[in-house]
Amino acid sequence: MSKIAIGNDHAGYELKEKVKDYLSQNNIEYTDFGHYSDDRADYPDFAHQVASAVKSKECKFGILICGSGNGINMTANKHQEIRSALCWQEEIAEMARLHNDANIIALPARYISQELALKCVETFLNTEFEGGRHNDRVNKIKC
């Protein structure tokens, strides 16, 4: 698997460290774009870096984490070619890849258990885009 970009704000720091452990244990290379502590930080600073790395193909996928997952997800989706999906269940992570060809998963650190978050990440990274009729829909997303 290609490299993964990962980023977070202060609320996502603890969960990001667990996700990095999971990636390392599974020999998945990643680039950590920060934030590197639970000190206050602004999620757009990290969402833009991760989205840029995915858009440029430096990284195949991105993982973004903030308190609700909303702000970091909204920011990433401002970038053309980015399809970031807010996921809090495995099935949503699977459908984001399968039907929407999502290239970034956003996790709500304050509203998901670490165990479930890791299952979402695993599912997201291991699900292929189905293509077919979904290609036309995905192609209509860009403005």
Q: What is the domain count for the chain? A: 1
CA 33, distance to chain mean position in Å, is 12
Of 10, 48, 79, 99, the active-site residue reads 99
In this structure, what CATH number is given to the domain that contains residue 40?
3.40.1400.10
Q: What is the pLDDT along the chain (143 residues), one digit of tens a residue?
A: 579 999 999 999 999 999 999 999 999 999 999 999 999 999 999 999 999 999 999 999 999 999 999 999 999 999 999 999 999 999 999 999 999 999 999 999 999 999 999 999 999 999 999 999 999 999 999 88
Domain extent, residue 36, equals 4-139
Name the token pair of 122. Answer: 């695993």
Q: Is 99 a catalytic residue?
A: yes
Taking Cα atoms as reference points, which of 129, 103, 107, 120 lies closest to residue 3?
Answer: 103
Give the whole-angstrom CA distance, residue 106 versus residue 54: 14
